[in-house]
């Protein structure tokens, strides 16, 4: 994974805090969803986006209206974009779990997918090769369906050693480059380890944390919508 974007002292502190929480062994709780937030601000059919993730996107501990997919849909609407954002998050899910449920979690007609998986793999110390293979399979199948992708990266806990960290962290950048998909290097950028932006468990964003994530990822999400529209031809 390309860590050059974490050069500032503030990001370094956030990253260190996030990794410290991972070392403590917290486990992401399960909570999924199947709702959709739709915006119909233009005459064209909305771009259907699925957020394939874990509890970080599913909204563990948050009311529906404060979850990432809902807030992202609203942010895109404020930009004048017609979208339908589907919550395809299952808390506690691994990359392999996301792969196994891909066909029913990403329904027919989906034009773009935000992939946010791997945090639980790292927390459990799963072999990075297994995580890589699962994410690779997801990308292969999404590309075969002509679906635009935004891949969100995650960081590994350092208590598993430098070799594990290097192997895990490299997964996202390497896959993004290999498959030619957009990359958001660290999903919790600007939020990790900030007590104001995280719930008491230190892992899951508060409503304010979700707002911060949405604000940072929004330009990439706008690009994702634009790419999906280009694919319509």
Residues that are catalytic: 55, 201, 204
Q: Which residues contact 186 (CB under 8 A, 6 or more apart)?
A: 5, 6, 15, 152, 153, 154, 155, 192
Q: How far apart are CA 67 and CA 88, in angstroms?
A: 12
CA-to-CA dists, residue 220 to 132, 142, 158, 188, 225, angstroms? 22, 18, 28, 14, 9
DSSP 147: -
DSSP 124: T
Burial 76-91 (b: 16+ CB within 10 A, else e): bbeeebbbbbbbbbbb
């Amino acid at each position: 994974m390309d860590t050059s974007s974490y050069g500032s002292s503030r990001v370094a502190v956030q990253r260190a805090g996030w990794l410290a929480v991972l070392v403590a062994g917290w486990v992401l709780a399960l909570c999924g969803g199947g709702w959709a937030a739709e915006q119909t601000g233009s005459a064209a059919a909305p771009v259907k986006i699925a957020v394939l993730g874990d509890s970080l996107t599913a909204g563990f501990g948050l009311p529906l209206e404060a979850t990432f997919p809902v807030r992202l849909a609203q942010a895109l609407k404020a930009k004048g974009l017609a979208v339908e954002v589907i919550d395809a998050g299952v808390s506690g899910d691994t990359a392999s779990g996301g792969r196994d449920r891909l066909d029913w979690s990403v329904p027919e007609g989906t034009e773009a997918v935000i992939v946010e998986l791997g945090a639980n793999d790292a927390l459990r110390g799963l072999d990075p090769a297994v995580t890589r293979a699962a994410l690779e399979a997801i990308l292969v199948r999404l590309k075969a369906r002509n679906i635009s992708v935004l891949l969100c990266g995650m960081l590994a806990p350092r208590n598993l050693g430098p070799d594990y960290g290097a192997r895990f962290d490299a997964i996202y950048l390497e896959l993004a480059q290999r498959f030619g998909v957009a990359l958001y290097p660290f999903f919790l950028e600007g939020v990790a380890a900030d007590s104001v932006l995280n719930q008491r468990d230190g892992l899951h964003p508060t409503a304010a944390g979700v707002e911060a994530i949405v604000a940072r990822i929004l330009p990439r999400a706008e690009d994702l919508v634009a790419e999906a529209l280009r694919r319509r031809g």
